[in-house]
Chains A and B, each alone.
Chain A
Amino acid sequence: MGMTISEKILSAHAGAEAYAGDIVVAEIDHAMGQDGTTPLSIRAFQRMNGKRLKHTDRVSLVIDHSAPSPNEGVSALHKMMREFADEMGCNLYDIGEGICHQLMPERGHVVPGDLIVGADSHTCTYGALNAFSTGVGSTDLAAVWLTGKLWFRIPPTKRIVFRGRLPRGVYSKDMMLSAIGKLTADGCTYETVEIIGSTVTQMSVDARMTMSNMVVEMGAKAGIFECDKKVLDYVSSRTNRRPRPESSDPDAIFSRTINMSVSNLTPMVAKPHAVDNVAPVDSVLDVPIQQAFLGTCTNGRLEDLRIAAKILKEKRVKEGVRLIVAPASRDIYLDAMRLGIVQALVKAGAVIVTPGCGCCVGTHNGIPSDGENVISTANRNFRGRMGNSRSFIYLASPATVAASALQGRIADPREAIA
């Protein structure tokens, strides 16, 4: 019987052939935790009488959600993480290194065929590298630290096939927002989404990560791309671990296949207060904005910063608009400086903050005020997400965010590029 990528990866890690709906206990290749979730994992690990990690080299902790610490409470939790990492001998990426979902692939912790879990819902990002990766809670993470394993129900797979050439000014973020609008916030609950087609094979690994990152906004457990030379080149420069690429068999069973043509796609936005509240940018052009945010595990990579800098170069952000930029990692920050991207952004009026998650998750680094509108490259726009339940968040591509920052209202990036 034919198998999907998910069935193959989970079977290989469980040591037995298993199909959608089966429950397996599988070996984990890497387990990641961040500062919002790891402290609870440490508590759970202690409750399980954990003394040492099953595999020290398969555990990474990242301080990114409130980095550097904005208050005493968080400082105590960070200290707890540092002491735990020191005692256990695992990786710790401290403040300023970057966002967990950028660091995991960037520092070589992910190769094709891997099974990875992280105590953060956007762990699905590494599917861009042909890995099965999914978000879990703190207690699940502690169980992995202790046993090296976790139980899974093997998900059914939906396929989204993207065909056609992306028009100028339209990007992978717009494709994904369009798919989420169509399938809705619970359209893929407990499923894997396989993203294939001629459009995505043309895309960079960065652009693919934007899409795998957001599959959880449709309720999915994982979002997986096929492996190709771009993926192999990406991982080979970062690790000596052997890639084990997987692709779905021709006779594998899919719960549904959705065909989407991108040839006529326009820039899209997700309007407050839901990610599936998606509309073409034309329908919101009159919305004034007070803050624009470029960054996050969705769109804080070099390609994203470059696209925004191209639009902002030698221009000036509209008076009254705060443009906040958080590169997704220190390495991206350094590359962006080397390429003059940071200089272009800062000259245009941007404020660069520490690589991390703060602005997106509302812990610090740009909490909007009452009644303000924010246009952001993030993946969530729930009420209160950025730390104020009386503000309004619109999600869009880096190009739309940059164009909007110049206009002081939501703008069509195709005009800024033309």
Chain B
Amino acid sequence: MILRGKAHKFGDSINTDYIISGKYKFKTLDMDELAKHVMEDLDSNFYSKITPGDFIVAGRNFGLGSSREQAPLAIKHAKISAVIAKSFARIFFRNSINTGLPILICPEADRIGQGDDLAVDLSTGVIRDITKNIELKAELLPPIMINILEDGGLAEHIINHGGFAL
């Protein structure tokens, strides 16, 4: 599947408190409501800048901090189609796959510019920056994560296979 959208750039060490602030995180299960506050402490208008299908492009250690699944869910419900970063923190990485938010580890993510038009092929991990006319390659996920992502998340994976299918 090819995803198309604009790049919204962030720096290194974007933690889960930045992704969804402490003021909102534990108050509600309405993820569409939480989505309105995504990245609010870094950019108070961020939600209004998103066109459905856009990408978050970041530096090292994206998603460090809390284990809250509200973080990937808020990004997903804000209609971001995937997160591209140089590296991810461990729990966020797992939570994204489990909740069906595609993530791409791309050591060269710095080459993508703010607002660049991207085409991302999830099956091959090829990220095409249409604005700059360059092609970047994301690392492949472990097979179990690809299985879970292809099933649409961990809940669907468990339903489909009656347990973990390695």
Residues of A within 8 A of B (CB): 23, 25, 35-37, 39-40, 43-44, 47-49, 65-66, 71, 73-74, 77, 118-121, 123, 135-140, 142-143, 146-147, 149-151, 153, 185-186, 189-190, 219, 221, 274, 361-363, 380, 382-387, 389
Q: Which residues of A contact B155 (CB under 8 A)?
A: 44, 47-48, 139, 142-143
B164:A120 contact, CB within 8 angstroms:
no
Of A146, A384, A387, the contact of B158 (CB 8 Å cutoff) = A146
Q: Which residues of B contact A189 (CB under 8 A)?
A: 61, 87, 89-90
Of B21, B142, B163, B164, the contact of A384 (CB 8 Å cutoff) = B21
Of B21, B41, B64, B68, the contact of A36 (CB 8 Å cutoff) = B68
Of B27, B64, B159, the contact of A185 (CB 8 Å cutoff) = B64
Q: Mark B62-94, 1 if CB is under 8 A from A, else 0.
A: 001111111001000000000000010111001
Closest beta carbon of chain A to B33's beta carbon, Å? 10
Task: List 10 A-B pairs, minimum CB-CB distance, nearest first.
Answer: A362-B22, A137-B95, A186-B61, A389-B41, A73-B27, A139-B98, A36-B26, A135-B67, A121-B67, A137-B69
Is there a chain A Cβ closer than 8 Å to B29's Cβ?
yes
Chain A residue with Cβ nearest B71:
A137
Is there a chain A Cβ closer than 8 Å to B5's Cβ?
no
Q: Beyond A140-B98, A140-B154, A189-B61, is A149–B27 a contact (Cβ under 8 Å)?
A: no
Of A40, A137, A142, A361, the contact of B94 (CB 8 Å cutoff) = A137
A23:B65 contact, CB within 8 angstroms:
no
Closest beta carbon of chain A to B58's beta carbon, Å? 13
Interface-centre pick from A23, A49, A137 (highest chain B CB count, 10 A): A137
Q: Mark B95-106, 1 if CB is under 8 A from A, else 0.
A: 100110000000
A382:B15 contact, CB within 8 angstroms:
yes
Q: Which residues of B contact A362 (CB under 8 A)?
A: 17, 21-23
B163:A147 contact, CB within 8 angstroms:
yes
Known: A140-B154, A146-B158, A190-B90. 14 other contacts (CB 8 A): A73-B27, A121-B66, A136-B67, A137-B94, A143-B158, A147-B158, A149-B163, A186-B64, A361-B26, A384-B17, A384-B22, A385-B17, A385-B22, A387-B23
Question: In chain B, residues 6-65, which have Cβ atoms closer than 8 Å to a Cβ of chain A?
Answer: 13, 15, 17-18, 21-23, 25-29, 41, 60-61, 64-65
A118 to B66, CA, bound (A): 12
A238 to B159, CA, bound (A): 37
B41:A137 contact, CB within 8 angstroms:
no
B25:A36 contact, CB within 8 angstroms:
yes
Closest beta carbon of chain A to B150's beta carbon, Å? 15
Number of interface residues of B (CB under 8 A): 41
Is there a chain A Cβ closer than 8 Å to B134's Cβ?
no
A149 to B144, CA, bound (A): 15
A118 to B17, CA, bound (A): 19
Interface-centre pick from B66, B67, B89 (highest chain A CB count, 10 A): B67
A23 to B166, CA, bound (A): 8
B91:A383 contact, CB within 8 angstroms:
no
A188 to B15, CA, bound (A): 16
A-B contact pairs, 11 of them (CB 8 A): A36-B68, A37-B68, A123-B67, A137-B94, A139-B155, A140-B98, A151-B144, A151-B166, A186-B13, A363-B26, A380-B65
Q: Which residues of A contact B27 (CB under 8 A)?
A: 71, 73-74
A74 to B24, CA, bound (A): 10
B13:A384 contact, CB within 8 angstroms:
no
A153 to B159, CA, bound (A): 22
Q: Beyond A23-B142, A43-B29, is A389–B69 a contact (Cβ under 8 Å)?
A: no
Of A49, A74, A153, the contact of B142 (CB 8 Å cutoff) = A153
Of B28, B94, B153, B158, the contact of A136 (CB 8 Å cutoff) = B94
Of A36, A186, A386, the contact of B87 (CB 8 Å cutoff) = A186
Of B60, B89, B154, the contact of A143 (CB 8 Å cutoff) = B154
Closest beta carbon of chain B to A380's beta carbon, Å? 7
Closest beta carbon of chain A to B101's beta carbon, Å? 11
A149 to B158, CA, bound (A): 12
Question: In chain B, residues 146-162, which have Cβ atoms closer than 8 Å to a Cβ of chain A?
Answer: 153-155, 158-159
Closest beta carbon of chain B to A27's beta carbon, Å? 12
